[in-house]
Structure 1
């Protein structure tokens, strides 16, 4: 289990450079669904308090075939006084969590780092259920699935589609970082809040995504991080692409 109180805030200086006038890339900001759900999400999570930040307990793939829960993973949740600083605080963080519970992707899922993580966690079986309280390809602990909005998709992670599981995982990622998967994230070369990822949704632009994550350097820096995926034209960002945003 990760110690939520040990996570540290990270601040990023905001980008103050002017966007090129010959490039029709505008900050999309938050989508209309973000604006509609941000306040409600903030209110709901405030009511949940620290329990909205329960850790995502995971296990390595070789344990996924066990029918009984592993004793070392049966630790109690943190106390109500536990805190969980996130590099994406305030309304930004709430919007990201709200999106996971209110959007239905309309695109073809692309292979990404989430498939590598699932291969470690569950041997790549997105619908695994061995009855050990961990479900789906990313081995969600049931309370975590519920508190991060998973019930909007299915009553358990293994009953949701792979992309729906990824949507919830990205909400968890923004609050807890890769340490939510303490073993397998290390195996795929990820840790903490480094190299966070974002699945592009229909209508999103590099400018809007950079603003949402407060990416240092704005959309040009975001494009530079993902040029090999996007190609030569930054306008050609497509739904379903999984971008590295930090």
Structure 2
């Protein structure tokens, strides 16, 4: 990244540290084996799977954002920024709005039954495999080779609408709504995305080339700190997922 702005450089270094933490959490391939006939083990399986999925997704998103800034590809910055907001909105919706109340209810009497765990599992499954496209049909011949993958992809759970998740988040943090609107304009075929490929040359707006100053850099200066701040929310939600695992002493039939 070519900016000499000290604050931006400091934020960039902080973001590199966040990225490294995610990368350390997903340095090896993990094969997940879905258990059968044991609600407690199935519950643990989904918690572990969610953590692994989010570690890997955020690692890729963060590294891609770094690459977009280093290469001054500001259109890609907008796309990745919006993806980070949406992933975090979904994560927060399921963990805080749906799962946390059920976990607290299950713990209220000092023990956790299989029935109580079974009430949480559908939310875990929907969180992990919810979809708005028929992947089982699209990859039918490919998934024929892998029974477990076919089973996971054939789930009929419709993923929650992202706007529903954002509405929940906005009630807790009013700035998220404006931030999402901004990044949405940066990725749609609107003025926002055009600005990301524009340059100021002799006080005039130009498109393409490398003359003058990239308008996208100014947009980064005004938005990057908000993106970095989102990862405090990410870490809090991932911490909650870890805390949802019930100790063996609490588990009963």
What TM bracket, shorter-length normalisation? under 0.3
Structure of larger gyration radius:
2
TM-score by length of 1: 0.27
Compare the two structures and name the one with the higher helix fraction.
Answer: 2
